Structure 1
Amino acid sequence: MITLLENVLERADGNYVSPEDLQLLDKALSSWKARKAAYNALQEKEPDIISAAVTMMKNGDRFESKPMDSLGVDRCQRDMTLGLRCCALAMLLQDEEMLKDRVLYWQQNIFRAMQLNYQGYKFLWQAVKSQLPGEQAAFFSPYMKLAHEMMAAE
């Protein structure tokens, strides 16, 4: 929404807001209550979501040969919590660009420097789907998908 508002302001620049931009704003505002409810549900379920995602990651085939130690689990929980909260804010504000700018580019650079193909968002998405009702989880889908695609890219 922040990016949307910035774009609308830039395009208007001394003129009235166009009918197309007004429709975009109406659409964003019409889903506010439902997105806010999904955001609040996610916040309430965050410990369960993070726990489920870390468990799925630890039990996945990626760590069969070398299980994660406690430091790895702590870092994984920290990274997943940050990612989940940023995806939640991006969903609430309907702002993929903010998600990219605030966390994904930064995370992407770190994981590339470490030569890791990070799969955490895949597990987060599975955990979100298991912990939230389908309608609420669906709001998160584009943001989790974007995060997973950016982090898993080679």
Structure 2
Amino acid sequence: LAKYSMEDQSNWDLYLPSALFAYRTIRQHTTRFEPFYLTYGREATLPIELKLPSDPTIIGSDAQQDQQVEDFQEQFYQRIRMLIGPLEDNRQLARSNVHTMLLKNFRPKKLDTKWNGPYYIHDRRNNGTYQLRTIDGKIRKKWVHADQL
């Protein structure tokens, strides 16, 4: 919920039904059942099942099925590229120069923002750690690794 409501923390309740559905459709270790099944006495119909017909007679010809597989693969690869983007940004950050402005990632409370800053890079070590300087010129004593920026 914190990640989805990062932009506007007053709308976290809009994401609650999706989060609860996800929780209720995961098999629980203690009961060995899904909460959805225990509540309604049947398996939940997942959103992907609405897009992919489970009855082979509904799927259609082999050519249609091949095209559908290719479409899903392309969507999968686009999603992977989108997820890898921030990792590439971290690699570029590891080569960043002194005096570059950036934000520091930290471990906040549940619905707090995850970023501090902005900071400038004051000094850089070859192991990917940085010493940061605030906008008013105060130098932070602790060095920070690139994966926290």
Which structure features the higher share of strand residues? 2
Higher-Rg member (1/2) = 2
TM-score w.r.t. length of structure 2: 0.23
Q: Which has the higher contact order (CA 8 A, sep 6+)?
A: 1
* TM-score normalised by length of structure 1: 0.22
